[in-house]
Structure 1
Amino acid sequence: MKQLKVIGLDEKKAEQLADKLNELLSNYQIFYMNVRGFHWNIKGERFFELHAKFEETYDDLLLKIDEIAERILTLGQRPMHAYSTYIRTSDIEEVKDVHDGRACVANILDSYQTTIRLQREIQDLANEASDEGTSALMSDYIREQEKTAWMLTSYLND
């Protein structure tokens, strides 16, 4: 594959990374839709605060979805693009009809736990493959999400 030759990555290792990135992509897509639903359906005394926070969160997730798909393409593979596939391959489950703020935030924390775990696995694979591009992307996501998890955990412990 000419593209991989240009960027200096082994084809088999790039394929393994792309498979894991597709798994991450599935999780992000379900995570995104869950947070979108939280944004639309939130109720209660903290409506304004959480409504804005959920919008900030799903905007960030959408950017990451695009970056992950483009990284898969950079590795010479195809990103999954069907919700039926995402539902089947995601560790994050669809959440329906949740409007309680604390339940929404707890679900977001659970979802970050899933993505951080998977991103660490991908980062390890990327490091073994000398794939700095994927490793750096995962490092950035992990750093951001660890801080966000701390903040959301603090929010729940008020």
Structure 2
Amino acid sequence: MGTSTEIDIGISKKDRKAIADGLSRLLADTYTLYLKTHNFHWNVTGRMFNTLHLMFEEQYNALALAVDEIAERIRALGFPAPGSYSQYAKLSSVKEETGVPSAEEMIAQLVKDQEAVVRTARELLPLADKAGDEPTVDLLTQRMQTHEKTAWMLRSLLQ
């Protein structure tokens, strides 16, 4: 056939690997936050039940879409996307919650976790920018904007 399966998108393999590794951390953070938000959706109680139940559902649905986008970007760069709980536990800066905290504690944890995802994305941004990886820069910018806004909205509930 004579076709090449080598990736030639104008970014070196070394840079693609470093970016994919950073995106893997972002994927782990995002997936862990997805799972935690879904858990809180199921288990929230109290005065703000309906508001939080619906808000958490909206957030975990958005996170599910983000997980797919991040994983597909890793694949487009030519590397496998991590996809197991054990990999995510090693890579994620977001800590899982195994108990059932109060509604206010759920909100406080999610604020902290949304901001952790922003920091992970922000850490990767200069590398992607330096490598000329505009699709990843765009993805990271969108993720930071979404997580910063979500953290702000959640934080507003605590005031």
The normalised TM-score by structure 2 is 0.93
* Aligned twin of 1:33: 35
Alpha-carbon distance between aligned partners in 2 of 1:111 and 1:101, rounded to the nearest angstrom: 15
Alpha-carbon distance between aligned partners in 2 of 1:118 and 1:148, rounded to the nearest angstrom: 16
Which of 8, 11, 20 is matched with 1:9 structurally? Answer: 11
Alpha-carbon distance between aligned partners in 1 of 2:156 and 2:114, rounded to the nearest angstrom: 15
Which of 115, 119, 122 is matched with 2:121 structurally? Answer: 119
Q: Which has the higher helix share?
A: 1
| Structure 1 residue runs of 4 or more that deviate by more than 3 Å after TM superposition | 1-4
| Deviation (angstroms), 1:31 | 1.0
* One-letter amino acid matched to 1:109: V
Which of 100, 103, 117 is matched with 1:101 structurally? Answer: 103
Structure 2 unmatched ranges of 5 or more: none
* Aligned twin of 1:129: 131
Give the superposed CA RMSD: 1.3
| Deviation (angstroms), 1:153 | 1.4
SS in 2 for 1:8: coil
**Number of equivalences:** 156
| Deviation (angstroms), 1:65 | 0.5
Offset from partner CA, 1:85-136 (integer Å, 9 cap, x none): 1112211111022242111111111111111001011111100100000000
* Aligned twin of 1:84: 86
| Deviation (angstroms), 1:29 | 1.4
Alpha-carbon distance between aligned partners in 2 of 1:63 and 1:82, rounded to the nearest angstrom: 17
The sequence identity of aligned pairs, in percent, is 37
Please tell me whether the aligned partners of residues 71 and 134 of structure 1 are also in contact (alpha carbons under 8 angstroms).
yes
SS in 2 for 1:4: coil
Structure 1 unmatched ranges of 5 or more: none
The normalised TM-score by structure 1 is 0.93
SS in 1 for 2:7: helix
